[in-house]
Structure 1
Amino acid sequence: MKLSSDLKAFAERLGHEFSRTALLIEAVTHPSMSSPGRSDNQRLEFLGDRVLGLVMAEALLAHDPEASEGQLAPRFNALVRKEACADVARQIELGQVLKLGRSEMLSGGRRKEALLGDAMEAVIAAVYLDAGFEAARAMILRLWAGRIGAVAEDARDPKTALQEWAQARGMAPPKYTETARSGPDHAPQFTIAAQLPNGAQEEATAGSKRQAEQAAAQALLARVEAQVAKTPPK
């Protein structure tokens, strides 16, 4: 099966020449384009998630032989979560070659974080099935190289960090409330308020509810930590 010119260019950006080109076509086919004669990328996504996880686990162990499990786990989560996969997908312009149904395309599917993250995992699986684990591993390490070395000691996402901050002080977990939504259907903007039981609250706006929740949690955590730092010891 021959690749279109845009998929050939994408494979070059990916750094892998496919022997079984049908695998790449399947990896970039969203469920909105599936049909009895055309497979979508959901099964590949399932496999790619596991391949990525194994490669990242190995890489983190090699990068820091002295790190404890408690230190490695949040770093691992930061590297394999959908946001990281979507960032890599944007880096190699995966969105440009996705095969989407009309409604998904009109709703801004090429820019959606979850969709990009899923497709990136599917592409990883396609390389794995096409050329084996070492080929997939080499590609992943090349695309994630800067992230592995830069991942922070404390790579917890802001929502987790805020929840742990609250629990350490005997508080119930923070609550997240959607306070506004704006923009067109294909590019909505969500405003989310994060609030602690003591009344402290911050809002943030982003293109997805998850991003807005994370940003609101980040802002609230920064605020309460700054207040604690200013409070003189008794």
Structure 2
Amino acid sequence: MNELPSETRDWLTATGFTVRNEEVWVEALTHGSFNSTAPNARSHGKGADYDADYQRLEFLGDRVLGLSVASWLFGDSTGQEGKLSQRLNALVSGATCARIARSIGTSDHIRLGKQAREDGGADSDNILGDVMEALLGASFVENGYDITRDCVYRLWAGQLDGDAGKSKHPKSALQEWAAGNKRAMPEYAIIERSGPDHAARFTVEVSIHSVGAAKATATSKSEAEKLAARAFLEEFG
């Protein structure tokens, strides 16, 4: 196992992580592609000298992040489960994790294979998001839940205080409303299409069995569905 470079250790410390066992942090920053080009992998294969990649720590960090954010949302809001779940999903999404990772300069410290780095892996949302979760997993292994939770709150402060997950697409909102009220799922149907192809108008009806229906017209099917869902919620929600 390679040692943690001094500049990476300094970066982790400056970011707010407490590093004691360097091995777990090296693992958190190692992408699977690194082993395909590392000398130890070519010489020994997946043996004792093979550098573990971040996948196991990512799995752990994902759960720690979810619990930390869920706990924050529970203490900060009196919203119902649907609204809390909506915000939670937005705050722990891969895109949000990648945004946090990018903001703290993670790209410079990821261990990638030559081809993956040349292909832009260090700035990939998927890889950055995974590494961010792996770093939280490493923090949990090293320092436990409370310290890692506080690190999440510090790194995610701008996201937690922002609007992530507060707005909702009307179709998603209607589906959640139906599920929360133990109703059938919404059904959408085009009931009229008018005008030439370059200026078509679509009238869509959305209905929920034993509740009712609502209609809307727009220049695209998707927009008509969105407006119909909004109209349904305004009338029946």
Q: Per-residue deviation at 1:130?
A: 0.7
- Checking the alignment, whether the CA contact within 8 Å between 1:78 and 1:156 is kept in structure 2 is no
Give aligned pairs, total. Answer: 186
Q: State the alpha-carbon separation in 1 of the partners of residues 21 and 219 from structure 2.
A: 55
For the 8 Å contact 1:171–1:197, the answer to whether it is kept is no
Post-superposition, which runs of at least 4 consecutive aligned residues in structure 1 deviate over 6 A?
A: 161-164, 196-199
Q: Taking structure 1 as reference, are residues 170 and 117 closer, same or farther at Cα in structure 2, changes over 3 Å only?
A: same
Residue 14 (1) aligns with residue 27 (2): no
Contact 2:9-2:19 within 8 A present in 1 as well: no
**TM-fit CA distance, 1:161:** 6.2
CA contact (8 A) 2:30 2:54 kept: yes
Gaps of at least 5 residues in structure 1 are 173-195, 203-219, 230-234
Is 1:26 the counterpart of 2:57? The answer is no
SS of the residue 1:171 aligns to: strand
Distance in 2, matches of 1:19 and 1:158, equals 48
Q: Note the alpha carbon deviations across 1:35-94, whole angstroms, 9 max, x for none.
A: 432100011111110010000110000111x21111101000010110010000011111
1:132-151 to 2 correspondence within 5 Å? 132-151=144-163
Amino acid at match of 1:33: F
- CA–CA distance in structure 1, aligned partners of residues 79 and 3 of structure 2: 46
Contact 1:29–1:40 under 8 Å retained in 2: yes
Equivalent residue number for residue 57 of structure 1: 70
TM-score by length of 2: 0.67
- Of the three residues 49, 52, 67, the one matched with 1:39 is 52
Distance 1:159 1:2, change over 3 A: farther
Q: What RMSD in Å do the two structures reach over aligned CA positions?
A: 3.3
**Unaligned stretches of 5+ residues in structure 2:** 36-40, 177-183, 190-201, 205-217, 232-237
Q: Residues 1-234 of structure 1 correspond to what in structure 2 (within 5 A)?
A: 2-34=3-35, 35=41, 36=46, 37-64=50-77, 66-152=78-164, 154-156=166-168, 160=172, 170-171=187-188, 200=219
Q: Secondary structure at the match of 1:31?
A: coil
Q: Sequence identity of aligned pairs in percent?
A: 35
